[in-house]
Amino acid sequence: QVTLWLKKIYGDVPIPEYEVNERTVDILHEVMECNEERDKDVTLLIEDMKDRATKYEAQAKYWQDILGGDLGLSKGSLSEEATTDLADLVESAMELEVEDTSLTSFYCAINSMTSELFETKSKNQEMELKVKNLTEKLTSAVVLEKQLEEDIKKLKESQAAEKAKAEIRSKNLKFLEDKSKDLKIRIFDAEDELVAAGLDQSLTHEALMKSSEELVAMLKEIEPFKKELASYHDLPP
């Protein structure tokens, strides 16, 4: 069945090669069935359209005989204005998709189209409102995004400046630490040279620092005595 269907489809053109197995045959068979069903539907539709066309032609001939034979009206016998009006009437009937040209059919079709027009306008107004709201939200979001970008830019610049300052402070601190170490080494070397030259040990930096600390402690100890002595100075001789 599949082979015959493919030959029918391709006609005189050779059938393209394909792998013949159970799966491919099943798929082609399913496609064949769908195609045949579609062809049947199309055939029925064509036959229906032919039947309608035959009925319309018979109905047109019927009215043509009545208008031309009984009433003596034909396209050539009508005035130019009547021909134009008749063409407008036919065009309006086709545009409105009415079954006949009676006033009732025209009124019903116009009312239906008017309702659709109002409904469409209402939907358009709703869509315009939604678009307006979305546009306002989008504009607000864009402004906020730009503000955030500016804030991020300023923050990065501030961080870069702070980083540069921190690096400078770090370099200065390292320089001072190195300088302090160098000065301590020089002081110790100078003290060693002075001691070697016969300098009194009590005049070295460490001895002087120790003496200074002892002096501060002694001053704190005599502070109460100084206050007590000051109270006697106010007595008469």
Would 173 be classed as within a structural domain? no
3-state secondary structure of 156: helix
**Last residue in a domain, options 77, 103, 126:** 77
The residue segments making up the domain with residue 229 are 204-236
Sign of the torsion formed by the C-alpha atoms of 165, 167, 172 and 176: positive
Taking residues 176-195, report their average pLDDT: 82
Q: Is residue 48 part of a domain?
A: yes
Whether the per-residue pLDDT at 204 is higher than 70: the answer is: no
**Most confident residue range from 75-84, 126-135, 222-231:** 126-135
What the block records as the tokens of 219 is: 């001053």
Quick one: average pLDDT of 147-165? 90
Q: What is the pLDDT of residues 70-117, one digit of tens each?
A: 556 666 666 777 778 777 877 887 777 777 777 788 788 888 888 888
Other beta carbons within 10 angstroms of residue 29's beta carbon come to 13
Based on the structure, what is the number of domains in the chain? Answer: 2
The answer to whether position 17 is within a domain reads yes
* pLDDT of 140 higher than 70: yes
pLDDT of residue 47: 92
Question: What DSSP character marks residue 66?
Answer: I
Q: What is the mean pLDDT of the chain?
A: 82
Share of the chain above pLDDT 90, in %: 6
The answer to whether the CB of 101 falls within 8 A of the CB of 93 is: yes
Is 62 within a domain?
Answer: yes
Q: Tell me the pTM.
A: 0.33
Task: Give the residue, 5 or 174, on which the prediction is more confident.
Answer: 174
Domain annotation covers residue 30: yes
List, in order, residues 6 or more apart from 98 with CB less than 8 Å away: 105, 106, 108, 109
* Residue 106, domain member (yes or no): no
What residues contact residue 30 under an 8 Å CB cut-off, 6+ apart? none
Model confidence at 45, in pLDDT bands (50, 70, 90)?
A: very high
- Looking at the predicted structure, is the pLDDT value of residue 6 above 90? no
Of 77, 97, 124, the domain-final residue? 77
Residue 54 included in any domain: yes
Last residue of a domain, one of 19, 53, 77: 77
In a domain, 68, yes or no: yes
